[in-house]
Amino acid sequence: MRVGRIGYVNCYPVYGALDRGIVPLDAELVTGTPAELNGLLSAGALDVSVISAVEYARESDRFLLLPDLAVSCDGPVRSVVLFARRPAQELHEATVLVSAASRTSVYLLQLLAMDVWGVSPRLVTARTEAADLAQLERLPHDAVLVIGDAALVLAAQDGYPHRYDLGAAWKEWTGLPFVFAVWAARREVQSGEVQRVHQALCRSRAWGLAHLDELVSAAVRETGLPRATCEEYFGGLDYDLSYRHVEGLTSFFRRLAARGLVRDGSLRFLSVA
């Protein structure tokens, strides 16, 4: 079995016990960005992976969702942020840099731009990882969408006067949680093997949520951010896929489908014993 993992600190609570050998998993863990894992799962190079929510919607006929697992928020997410030089309502036809690392965040930005802020910016793909933040000033732009650890780092700086947390913007718009990432398996993979991975991921998450202090310390070492920032970040994330999360995910997919950005995005889950 080949299982995908995102290297961002937001996935520490799910993979921490697996990485430390506390919860055994007889599988190869493959680390990548959301976009990289999307492609690997689609190509059959992974059997199970965390992927962008939009990637599931685009290929829902090929994947099964793993129950009770997601990366979501019910308000500010803090690691998916639009940093802008002027208010969002003034970004019509403006140049907005976006990362290729997560299609979900880009699609969410498009919905907010069209349906909430009433603008249609020009999206330009650029590298916005933490190591590339210093290069942003060389690229002409009015705003930049940054995700993952890089968003936490940029938020600690003073370069942009206007900041829009996309999780908070979605919550204000719809009143629902937002699901950024889900765990999925290719349909042709033997269900018993997928169930074994699902059980290990759930056990690892339980350990992670019970040992957040240890994971916060690891996040501080990885990002160089203050401990209070990392504590606040983990405190705003949810790793469940409850009925309300499913409602938020379905609402997102329906809005995308109405815009012709995905198909119906119906949710189909792995059966678990």
Instruction: Provide the number of structural domains found in the chain.
Output: 2
Q: SS3 for 270?
A: coil
In the predicted model, what is the mean pLDDT of residues 199-226?
Answer: 96
The per-residue pLDDT of the chain, averaged, comes to 93
Beta strand pairing call for 63-73 and 143-147 = unpaired
**Model pLDDT for residues 169-206, shown as the tens digit of each residue:** 999 999 999 999 999 999 999 999 999 999 999 999 99
Do 159 and 229 sit in the same domain of this protein? no
Determine the Cα–Cα distance for residues 88 and 142; give it in Å rounded to an integer: 10
Q: Do 105 and 162 sit in the same domain of this protein?
A: yes
Which residues are bridge partners to 64 per DSSP? 185
| Whether this model's pTM surpasses 0.85 | yes
Distances (CA, A) of 52 to 6, 21, 126: 10, 26, 18
Q: How would you classify residue 92: left for phi > 0, otherwise alpha for psi between -120 and 50, otherwise beta?
A: beta
Examine the pLDDT at 273 and tell me if it is beyond 70: no
**Alpha-carbon distance 213 to 186, whole Å?**
34
Residue 131 pLDDT > 80, yes or no? no
Q: Tokens 């960005």 belong to which residue?
A: 33
**Residue that terminates a domain, selected from 126, 156, 174:** 174
**Statement to judge: residues 62 and 190 lie in one domain:** yes
Tens of pLDDT, residues 139-173: 899 999 999 888 998 998 888 999 999 999 999 99
